[in-house]
Amino acid sequence: MTPTTTPTTSASPDGARPIGTLLVANRGEIARRIIRTCKALGVATVAVHAPGEENAAHVREADAAVRLSVPEGRGPVDAYLDPEALVAAARTAGADAVHPGYGFLSENAAFARAVTGAGLTWVGPAAEAVEQMGSKTLAKKVARDAGVPVADALDPEDVRAEDLPVLVKAVSGGGGRGMRVVRDLDALAAQAQAARTEAASAFGDPTVFCEPYVERGRHVEVQVLADLHGTVWALGERDCSVQRRHQKVLEEAPAPGLPEQTRQRLHRAARDLAAAIGYTGAGTAEFLVPVTEEGLGEPVFLEMNTRLQVEHPVTECVTGLDLVEWQLRIAEGEPLPGAEPPAPRGHAVEARLYAEDPRNGWRPRAGLLHAFDVPAATVSFTPLTTPGVRLDHGVAAGDVVGTDFDPMLAKVIAYGTDRRDALRRLAAALADARLHGVGTNRDLLVRALRHPDFAGAHDRPERLHTAFLTGDRLAALAQPLAEPATEELAALAASLASMEAASGKGALPAGIPAGWRNLPSAPHRRRHTTDAGREITSAFRSVRGAHLPERDGVRVLSAASDQVVLEVDGLRRAFTVLSGESSSRAGEVYVESALGSVTLTPVDPLPEPEATVDPGALPAPMPGTVTAVDVSVGEKVREGQTLLRMEAMKMEHRVTAPAAGAVRELPVAAGERVPAGAPLAVLDYTGPGTGDPDDTPDSDDHGSQGARSTPHNEGLDP
């Protein structure tokens, strides 16, 4: 891990000066992370926020805040995308420096120039370096000239059959947007055009290219830290191979099972690339290492992110460095402390906790967050110095998770003496977390961390790769952690708690116990459905104030409106019950125990009659903005054909035809913001789909009740 370095003195370079007040040009979790380090260093902070975010955590924690305006007809996200407005905010607040965080304008060379042009310190690399690495095709050329191994970049027009499969990528893309895997040459033109449209919408640049698609690869990246005096550190590597739809899910450092020769080659390539462009500050060089049954192949360069990464905490854990602190110190002109970076110690793993519904096409979920607690976490936003769990989060209990920003709720990071220790700590911390009000990917994360192929990656590195979360394995790992027997006990606890709550509200005359009825021989029956749609009936009798479940081996020890204690086959089990009556999914009940977390919905024994719905209507799966309408009234469509696209929580959703038919109505237009359930299109069906097999929807497509989601998070890196 020898750095690239040139002789320097400790004097600050011309133009570098101490930072007194920093404007954080971001929001949520990363803004809070930066503010925390600034407070420790004694640097004053200024937050920015869109309308409606006046009480956001990052706004409350900063020393001052500036409200940004939203252009007419646009959404809150656009408030963070105006360089001139952000520079004006810095001037208004008297800030002398700007930190862009990640996402938004963090890799925008024009923003970097606007900041320095206003006489402010830009906490990041020079605009020229951002520009060179911002274009994936230009970055490949620069890397090749620096002697770094690079995958070929092909123009879509030049792809031949022998080049397949290929990955279509947006030149200015990230986070999975503008990416398509193509295995059939006949499908390339249409897929390239779809990628261009998506890239233009997401990044303002429709340019795409193709590169060879590696079915199984290890996504390994090297953390670079470079000062203004010519020293470049390769600060260890991270493995980010566990991904879903090109979006990272689990990240760790160091990369498990990586041959030492490959590790040194990656570190050297990252240093050489950074030195070639005069890079300064924190950045990440990303590589793909092909995986075969025999082991790992030769790495190739993918891209360089000229900013802090979402997964930077795992590097902080194993090195003991605060990377945000060093971003600030380098911007002030301070040299790195020595020629050698700290040697990594121990192991760290990070999980990205998303608000999404794994049982409904992984669709993002919005709503009121009733509970958000990770009891195992001992620190937030700061490097761990001893084995434990860290939580970096942008939300708290009582917050509303909306649809305007990305669906990441938090990052949960575990640091251990070795990989086995870190994995066990992280899996337990996630399993014990209280997360209620919106669906999450928590169960997937826990099952993935405990999967033998992931846990054994140090000894069998070929079993960990970018296709880890695909096919049958993804479906299996997405199953609820709570077993059916646990769900049944939770439903019984919820039924008993509901009865006690009704008694406490004075529903019965004084002196009448909860559950009293004039026909004691008949049991009480309560029905609930689980998140997966399974219906559970709980039956019990109430005799002289005691509840007697009609289930062998189960005895009620105590029952209250918020906690029920059962004896199950001789073991005492306590269940905490929380009602979610004010959530977007009214009536949900959340039950926590050592056996797992269960979400239940009571079944109304006397449901209200529902309004008649046109069977051909396709409702919006969530609030969002229609980005494109791909059909016209009267047009005949195939089963699975895309009718229109909408964006919500920074993800694209394709609304497809559930069966062949004709378009009767299109009540929405591109650019229109729609609420959940609003009709997007109305079809007259003519029968089952008759399209070519290649035109049928894949496992991520849904009809009238769903949409295909292509993840992209403006605050997240790919």
β-pair type (524-530, 535-543): antiparallel
Given a cut of 70, is residue 435 above it in pLDDT? yes
Looking at residue 522, its pLDDT comes to 79
Note the pLDDT tens digit of each residue in 285-304. 999 999 987 789 999 999 99
Looking at residue 202, its pLDDT comes to 67
Given a cut of 80, is residue 432 above it in pLDDT? yes
Given a cut of 60, is residue 230 above it in pLDDT? yes
Q: How confident is residue 215, by pLDDT bands cut at 50, 70 and 90?
A: confident
Within 8 A by CB and 6+ apart from 257, the residues are: 296, 457, 458, 459, 460, 461, 464
No. of helices (H) and no. of strands (E), the chain: 15, 40
Given a cut of 80, is residue 257 above it in pLDDT? yes
Cross-strand bridge partners of residue 291: 296
Note the pLDDT tens digit of each residue in 475-495. 999 999 999 999 999 999 999
DSSP of 578-646, one letter per residue? EEETTSSSTTEEEEEETTEEEEEEEPPSSPPPPPP--TTEEE-SSSEEEEEE---TT-EE-TT-EEEEE
For the beta carbon of residue 95, count every other beta carbon within 10 angstroms: 25
Nearest alpha-carbon partner for 212 in 266, 254, 151, 158: 151
Given a cut of 50, is residue 348 above it in pLDDT? yes
Rounded CA-CA distance 222/294 in Å is 24
Given a cut of 80, is residue 172 above it in pLDDT? no
* H/E segment holding residue 111: helix 109-117
Mean pLDDT, residues 608-617 taken together: 74
Tokens of 224: 């670079």
Rounded CA-CA distance 511/544 in Å is 12
Q: How confident is residue 373, by pLDDT bands cut at 50, 70 and 90?
A: very high
Nearest alpha-carbon partner for 623 in 668, 665, 684: 668
Report the range of poorest mean pLDDT among 133-137, 256-260, 558-562: 133-137
For the chain, state the CA radius of gyration: 27
For the beta carbon of residue 200, count every other beta carbon within 10 angstroms: 16
Mean pLDDT, residues 384-406 taken together: 93
Higher pLDDT residue, 709 or 347?
A: 347
Phi first, then psi, for residue 478 (nearest 5°) are -85, -5
Tokens of 341: 């970076």
Nearest alpha-carbon partner for 466 in 635, 239, 655: 239
Mean pLDDT, residues 217-221 taken together: 96
Phi first, then psi, for residue 99 (nearest 5°) are -110, 125
pLDDT exceeding 70 applies to what percent of the chain? 88
Report the range of poorest mean pLDDT among 137-141, 365-369, 465-469, 604-608: 604-608
Looking at residue 211, its pLDDT comes to 87
Rounded CA-CA distance 580/602 in Å is 11
For the beta carbon of residue 235, count every other beta carbon within 10 angstroms: 29
Q: What is the mean pLDDT of the chain?
A: 87
What is the pTM for the complete model shown? 0.85
Rounded CA-CA distance 647/657 in Å is 18
Note the pLDDT tens digit of each residue in 525-559. 999 999 888 999 999 998 877 899 999 999 999 99
Nearest alpha-carbon partner for 253 in 232, 231, 235: 235
32 contacts 51 by C-beta, under 8 angstroms: no
Report the range of poorest mean pLDDT among 123-127, 205-209, 609-613, 657-661: 609-613
326 contacts 338 by C-beta, under 8 angstroms: no
Q: How confident is residue 3, by pLDDT bands cut at 50, 70 and 90?
A: very low
Looking at residue 14, its pLDDT comes to 66
Higher pLDDT residue, 511 or 570?
A: 570
Looking at residue 581, its pLDDT comes to 55
Rounded CA-CA distance 646/651 in Å is 8
415 contacts 384 by C-beta, under 8 angstroms: yes
Nearest alpha-carbon partner for 631 in 612, 651, 657: 657
Given a cut of 70, is residue 174 above it in pLDDT? no
Rounded CA-CA distance 95/86 in Å is 11
pLDDT exceeding 90 applies to what percent of the chain? 64
Nearest alpha-carbon partner for 651 in 440, 394, 467, 407: 407
Rounded CA-CA distance 114/100 in Å is 12
